[in-house]
Chains A and B, each alone.
Chain A
Amino acid sequence: MIAYLPYLILLLPLLAAVSIRVFLHPFPRISVAVSTFACLGSFVGSLGMLFSGSVSGEVVAPVLPWIEWAGFKANFGLMGDPLARGMAVLVSGVAFLVHIYSIGYLEKDPSRSRFFAELSLFLFSMLGIVLADNLVSMFIFWELVGLSSYLLIGFWVERPAAGAAANKAFLVNRVGDFGFILGILGAWALFGTVGFADLPSRVAGVAPGWAVTAVGLGLFCGCLGKSAQFPLHVWLPDSMEGPTPVSSLLHAATMVVAGVYMLIRVFPILELSQVTMTTIAWVGGVMTLLPALIACQQNDIKRILAYSTLSEIAYMVMAVGLGVTGPAMYHLVTHAFFKCLLFLAAGSVIHGCHEEQDIWKMGGLAKRMPFTAFVLLLGTIALCGIPPVSGFWSKDAIFAAMAHSPGLAAVSMAAGFFTSFFMLRMILVAFCGEPKSDAARHAHEGSFFMIAPMAVLALLSVVGGLLPVEKYLGYSHASEHASWTLWLSLVLAVAGFVPAYFFYRRATQDPLNFVVLRNKFYVDEFYQRVFVSTQDSFGRLADAFEGWVVRGFLVRGSGVMARASGQGLRLVQCGQVQVYATVFILGVLVLLGWLWKQGALR
């Protein structure tokens, strides 16, 4: 029985999504309940899987043969190794909390049936990525996650900005997925397998070379798209157009870290090439700093958190690049707790302030929303890595691995400094001082459904670092503590609070103005200029060609030709029989003359 548990965990949310979509759509209350209980079922199942058997043992699920063609073999199987089990618990657990939160957040939304169906679809896809035992089925779930992300970002269909953001997310992810699928094909060509379980043994016999590097970089492309790393990071901040629970679950806690999870799955391939590892480490390293800088000048509370998400995921990517997957996974787990908490708190603020997202129109919320303010503060402390809460332990594990790469240590510690800076800026502006708008003056806490998940997540954010996360994920806690990196990172993280306090203690408008940061380093504008405009020009050129040459000249031209020749020739038809006879006789004469000239008549 235990062998079928992974299938149960995976299929429950799908069942919920389908039944809501097909039968329960007109009954929001039942839909919400079905979706939430399906999620709870998955969570309980995941817990059961986590604690079944020995901690390091595997739950082996039956495998269905799927594609077998010309030596290519991909089964549809699910995996129950410690990594998958731990991740499944995390994903379904956080998803369950977000389900509960959404009950409160969307209590007045008429289309919440659709929302919960899409949320269940997302959970199904995400659990598919987590449990998939080979790259091909992972890719399919990967795309399904992309689809559900698209649907959820564009949930508020009446807002044009939401539709545009959903499109952007989908299109940008396509770019990364293109590299991903090339990487999968390359992995099969090189190693003869797409299954994760076979990878370590197959990889051993392959010599390092450019091909291995290319495969590793291709797979990394998939991570760039889904985990929103440079240069494909532009979709994540825009995806904040979606409802806040979506931002919390998909675009902070679970979906965006799927890229990191995938990197850890294919780690044996990445490890073969030093070039790949260095690239991953440095992309991650740079990406810790850039979004942290951008966030210092953003005014939308959700965008600030979105940029900090980019920065935190970059820590995980960097850890993978440095070869320490354990700390990457560790940070993934703690980040899921505290980032989900931060987003839910931000959602609570937005809900309380009647959809106001600009922090400069808030202010004084600590008095009106004390609980939200408190959990947001806890989340901030965890995010900034201040001991003894969870973020400190996981960030410390990553910093410890950087003892021998001072360049990466420098950028990521600078990122820590700015993270503290913009988080305190956000709190001071939004929660302290005087209310800056009517909405903020009448802010209120949300219902029980919104408060309870935040309380649970706040608890997890605080004690999450003490959970034996790495043990359950199958890693030994081998990182060396108390190196110089720990102290320096801690000092810088605390130091970041000082200028923020100095600048924003009583600010009613932003005393700093860095245009470059405000405009996010002009990356969007650059893409607009280079890619979008180029593509538009090509599009216009193709349209002109189609309009003038194909449609104008060839299609309409031949029509016009036929018409014109018909118009000309019909003048011959005069209706006079004798004229026809004359022409006929003249024709015969001409023919006879021609035959005469040819000598045929002689």
Chain B
Amino acid sequence: MIFGEITLGHYLALSSLLFLIGLAGVILRRSLLIIMMSLELLLNAANLALVAVGRFQGLPDPQVAVFFVITVAAAEVALGLAILVAIFRIKKTTAADQLATLRF
């Protein structure tokens, strides 16, 4: 093993990396589809951190909470994709910077 024993620190580092990638995706990408995928990445980064902490501390609660997060995320994706399809039908685009009608 190059990195030796896998510790909580490794899990948290990976989680942070995933979170940052997700953030970059949300902020920088134009396509709403990619932004939603990046949002999933954010959620999963948080899930990973929760599971890791639960596992290492020997607590069941964070691991249970993750199931709820996954459920909510599934619902969110279903709803988000439906809205996305509706927007595309009306606006013929999914670029976030094109969808700027809610302004002064």
Contact = CB atoms under 8 A, between A and B. Distances in A.
Q: Is the interface of A mostly helix, strand, loop or mixed?
A: helix
B82 to A, nearest CB: 18
Contacts of A582: 27
Contact of A578 (B27, B101, B103): B27
Contact of A577 (B23, B96, B104): B96
Interface in B80-104: 96-97, 99-104
Contacts of B101: 575
A574 B27 CA distance: 15
A565 interface: no
B18 interface: no
B26 interface: yes
Contacts of A581: 26-27
B96 A578 contact: yes
Interface string A568-595: 0011011111100110010000000000
Interface residues of B, number: 13
Contact of B100 (A570, A571, A574, A585): A574
Range, interface on chain A: 10 to 19
Contacts of B23: 585
A573 B97 contact: no
Interface in B34-79: 35
Contacts of A571: 104
A574 B99 contact: no
B27 A573 contact: no
A585 B38 CA distance: 14
A578 B97 contact: yes
Given A578-B26, A578-B27, A570 B104 contact: yes
A571 B103 CA distance: 9
A574 B26 contact: no
A575 to B, nearest CB: 3
Contacts of B27: 578, 581-582, 585
B64 to A, nearest CB: 25
A213 B27 CA distance: 92
A403 to B, nearest CB: 96
A522 to B, nearest CB: 68
Nearest to B32: A577
Contacts of A585: 23, 27
Nearest to B99: A577
Interface string A549-573: 0000000000000000000001101
Nearest to A566: B104
A576 B104 contact: no
Contact of A573 (B28, B35, B99, B103): B103
Nearest to A577: B96
A583 to B, nearest CB: 10
Contacts of A578: 26-28, 35, 96-97
Contacts of A574: 100, 103
Contacts of B99: 577
A578 B103 CA distance: 13
Contacts of B100: 574-576
A574 B35 CA distance: 19
Contacts of B104: 570-571, 573
A573 B101 CA distance: 10
Contacts of B28: 578
Interface of B: 23, 26-28, 35, 96-97, 99-104
11 contacts: A573-B104, A575-B100, A575-B101, A575-B102, A575-B103, A578-B27, A578-B35, A578-B96, A581-B27, A585-B23, A585-B27
Interface of A: 570-571, 573-578, 581-582, 585
Nearest first, the 5 A-B pairs at minimum CB distance are A575-B103, A575-B100, A570-B104, A573-B104, A575-B102
Given A574-B100, A575-B102, A577-B99, 10 more contacts: A570-B104, A573-B103, A573-B104, A575-B100, A575-B101, A577-B96, A578-B35, A581-B26, A582-B27, A585-B27
